[in-house]
């Protein structure tokens, strides 16, 4: 098994219901005949679609399913009932959280987990420490005014590194912004991180993005976009494409608890479920979306249940689930205003099945995405969950939603002071008692794979490498300002050409206001 160590997937495969479907590849001789090719493709994908219709199957499995008691509805049979019963908004019990290592780094008795080798575990630990050190040093560099912005992953190192460890380089990553560890794991160097933060000539984004907006084609890591949740539907599209190309890979997208309040999240989950796209949704539920706590973010039991359920309550997410049906969020806004005005009235909104792209009543409850909640500060648990999720996602062509419970120990970014909206004690508790790096260190030390000497040697070597990378990045020349007009249009439109001309003239007129380390455009 090499780097991956001994992996036992039996507990997952035996406890889950697998649907197996085989797809016959189109006959090579018929390819090239576009009509035949199209009809083969249509048959192929429609057969996938029918297999995703579970309602009929569920009913069929019930004994004595009398034809008079069921409605044969497109998409599956539905049982009639004389009982007027609303579907409950809350589960009887909150979804459980899977973990393997306790706070002391001890394996919890009876744990069912994917074993990792010494080599893998030590790399995971070293990368978590590297990430932590990189955050500390870049954060200080921002405070010294050497870079314009920074954002740390402190407290979320395990999600970064353990998810990356369970993927392969062929899996396409669509990050939010708090996942540089995935890129680090894949081999992006400290120099490359520093080049991006300093926006120098070696930065792949040519200095056009704020610091921390990393991206690398070589590492299948899509460039960070600050616009929350836009990466989620992108990942689903990429996953669908991987499936059509019959690649043995999946797309993986990361987002925060805040990201799940965006319409993009809901559209993406629905699309992924319907199209059976091999995509893993990793939600880092870190308790806060800048100053908005999760209690103001959603009424449901966190994010994990959203694979199955939205809260049937006064919740905006019900409306945002239906992009394109503009009257629905309007109705929610109106209803909220009625509530504030203490009116004895409610808002009612009408929409068709196309507006929700759903089977309507159950759609408030179901996207049909298999989900799990995991301790986001337990690297071993996360590794196992992502490993199993990847296996299911690719072999069964299905999306999986993972909610990792964690905590953002740092401020949201260098533009934030989180002590203004949360208690210092709360931060301290997560930092000291629940630190994922310390927990993992205790586990590898108890296995005899790490020591205090290795610790101090490694930490000081990473620090030296980082300080060197920063010095090199800082000294390097910046890209010329005219780069800001390139790489979008093949032929820039007239307004951009005019702006470029204006910029050059302005620099000529006011050279003293132009940064000395940026080459002057010709
Ligand atoms: C579409 C959009 N709305 C608002 C913002 C401003 N914004 C930046 S980060 C953020 C909070 C996101 O929180 P979460 O998704 O939980 O991620 P976290 O920062 O906690 O990792 C917000 C609202 C944005 N960048 N994009
Ligand atoms: Mg958050």
pLDDT tens column, 9-27: 333 333 333 333 232 233 3
- Give the integer Cα–Cα distance in Å for 286 and 238: 26
Q: Quick check: is 226 catalytic?
A: yes
Helices (H), 71-213: 118-143, 157-165, 180-185, 190-198
Q: Whose CA is nearest to atom 21 of ligand 1?
A: 256
The continuous run of DSSP H or E covering 455 comes out as helix 452-475
Both tokens assigned to 158: 């395990």
Q: Would the CB of 376 count as within 6 Å of ligand 1?
A: no
Q: Would the CB of 228 count as within 6 Å of ligand 1?
A: yes
Identify the active-site residue in 261, 371, 413, 418: 413
Give the gyration radius of the chain's Cα atoms: 26
What is the pLDDT at residue 431? 96
Q: Would the CB of 213 count as within 6 Å of ligand 1?
A: no
- Give the integer Cα–Cα distance in Å for 431 and 435: 5
* pTM of the complete model beyond 0.85: no
Span from the CA of 14 to the centroid of ligand 2 (angstroms): 34
Identify the active-site residue in 213, 234, 311, 412: 412
- Give the integer Cα–Cα distance in Å for 198 and 190: 12
Paired with 375 in beta bridges are: 405
What is the pLDDT at residue 82? 85
3-state secondary structure of 462: helix
Q: Quick check: is 412 catalytic?
A: yes
- Give the integer Cα–Cα distance in Å for 23 and 402: 28
Ligand 1 closest atom vs CA 297: 16
Helices (H), 144-262: 157-165, 180-185, 190-198, 231-244
Pocket test for ligand 1, best of 151, 157, 258 (most atoms within 8 A of CB): 258
DSSP state of 405: E
Q: Helix axis angle, 118-143 relative to 190-198, nearest 10°?
A: 20
Span from the CA of 407 to the centroid of ligand 1 (angstroms): 15
- Give the integer Cα–Cα distance in Å for 164 and 130: 14
Both tokens assigned to 132: 């932590």
Ligand 1 closest atom vs CA 156: 21
Task: Give the CA dihedral 298, 300, 302, 303, nearest 10 degrees.
Answer: -90
- Which parts of the chain sit beneath pLDDT 50? 1-53, 55-56, 311-323, 355-365
- Give the integer Cα–Cα distance in Å for 105 and 126: 16
Pocket test for ligand 1, best of 256, 266, 292, 306 (most atoms within 8 A of CB): 256
Q: Phi and psi at residue 256, in whole multiples of 5°?
A: -95, 175
What is the pLDDT at residue 39? 40
Summarised one tens digit per residue, pLDDT across range 208-229 is: 999 999 999 999 999 999 999 9
Span from the CA of 281 to the centroid of ligand 2 (angstroms): 15
Ligand whose nearest atom lies closest to the CA of 154: 1
Burial class (CB in 10 A: 0-12, 13-18, 19+), 68: exposed
What is the pLDDT at residue 350? 77
3-state secondary structure of 429: helix
What is the pLDDT at residue 247? 96
Ligand whose nearest atom lies closest to the CA of 231: 1
Q: Phi and psi at residue 153, in whole multiples of 5°?
A: -110, 15
What is the pLDDT at residue 353? 57
Q: Would the CB of 226 count as within 6 Å of ligand 1?
A: yes
What is the pLDDT at residue 231? 98
CB-based contacts of 497-506 (< 8 A; 24+ apart in sequence): none
Paired with 279 in beta bridges are: 251
What is the pLDDT at residue 297? 86
Q: Would the CB of 230 count as within 6 Å of ligand 1?
A: no
Q: Whose CA is nearest to atom 25 of ligand 1?
A: 227
Are residues 197 and 473 in contact, defined by beta-carbon separation less than 8 angstroms? Answer: yes
- Give the integer Cα–Cα distance in Å for 258 and 243: 29
Residue reference for tokens 């009809």? 39
Identify the active-site residue in 140, 428, 498, 505: 140
- Give the integer Cα–Cα distance in Å for 269 and 515: 46
């Amino acid at each position: 098994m090499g780097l991956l160590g001994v992996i036992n997937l039996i507990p997952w495969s035996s406890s889950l219901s697998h649907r197996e479907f085989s797809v016959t590849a189109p006959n090579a001789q018929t390819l090239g005949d576009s009509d035949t090719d199209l009809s083969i493709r249509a048959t192929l994908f429609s057969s996938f679609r029918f297999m995703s219709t579970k309602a009929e199957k569920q009913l069929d499995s019930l004994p004595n399913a009398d034809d008079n008691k069921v409605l044969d509805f497109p998409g599956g049979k539905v049982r009639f009932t004389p009982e007027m019963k609303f579907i409950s908004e809350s589960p009887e019990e909150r979804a459980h959280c899977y973990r393997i290592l306790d706070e002391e780094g001890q394996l919890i008795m009876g744990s069912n987990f994917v074993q990792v080798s010494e080599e893998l575990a030590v790399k995971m630990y070293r990368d978590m420490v590297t990430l932590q050190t990189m955050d500390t040093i870049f954060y200080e560099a921002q405070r010294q005014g050497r870079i314009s912005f920074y954002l740390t992953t402190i407290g979320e190192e395990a999600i970064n590194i353990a998810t990356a460890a369970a993927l392969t380089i062929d899996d396409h990553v669509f990050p939010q912004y708090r996942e540089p560890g995935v890129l680090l794991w894949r081999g992006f160097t400290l120099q490359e991180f520093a080049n991006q933060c300093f926006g120098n000539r070696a930065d792949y984004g040519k200095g056009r993005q704020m610091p921390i907006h990393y991206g690398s084609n070589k590492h299948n890591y899509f460039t960070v976009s600050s616009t929350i949740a836009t990466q989620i539907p992108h990942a689903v599209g990429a996953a669908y494409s991987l499936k059509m190309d019959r690649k043995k890979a999946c797309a993986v997208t990361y987002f925060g608890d805040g990201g799940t309040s965006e319409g993009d999240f809901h559209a993406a989950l629905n699309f992924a479920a319907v199209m059976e796209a091999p995509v893993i949704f990793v939600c880092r539920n870190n308790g806060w979306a800048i100053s908005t706590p999760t209690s103001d973010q959603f009424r449901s039991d966190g994010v994990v249940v959203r694979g199955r359920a939205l809260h049937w309550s006064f919740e905006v997410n019900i409306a945002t689930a239906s992009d394109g049906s503009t009257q629905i969020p309007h109705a929610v806004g109106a209803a909220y205003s009625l509530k504030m005005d203490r009116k004895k009235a409610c808002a009612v909104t009408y929409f068709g099945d196309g507006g929700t792209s759903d089977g309507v009543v159950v759609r408030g409850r179901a996207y049909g995405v298999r989900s799990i909640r995991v301790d986001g500060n337990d690297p071993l648990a996360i590794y196992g969950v992502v490993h199993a999720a990847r296996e299911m996602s690719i072999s069964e062509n299905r999306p999986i939603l993972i909610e990792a419970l964690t905590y953002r120990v740092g401020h949201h970014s260098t533009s934030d002071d989180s002590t203004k909206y949360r208690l210092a004690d709360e931060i301290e508790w997560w930092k000291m008692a629940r630190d994922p790096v310390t927990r993992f260190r205790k586990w590898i030390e108890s296995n005899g794979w790490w020591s205090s000497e290795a610790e101090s040697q490694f930490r000081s070597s990473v620090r030296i490498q980082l300080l060197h990378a920063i010095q090199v990045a800082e000294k390097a020349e910046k890209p010329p300002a005219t780069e800001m007009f390139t790489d979008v249009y093949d032929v820039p439109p007239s307004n951009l050409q005019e702006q470029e001309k204006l910029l050059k003239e302005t620099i000529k007129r006011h050279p003293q206001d132009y940064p000395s380390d940026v080459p002057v455009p010709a």
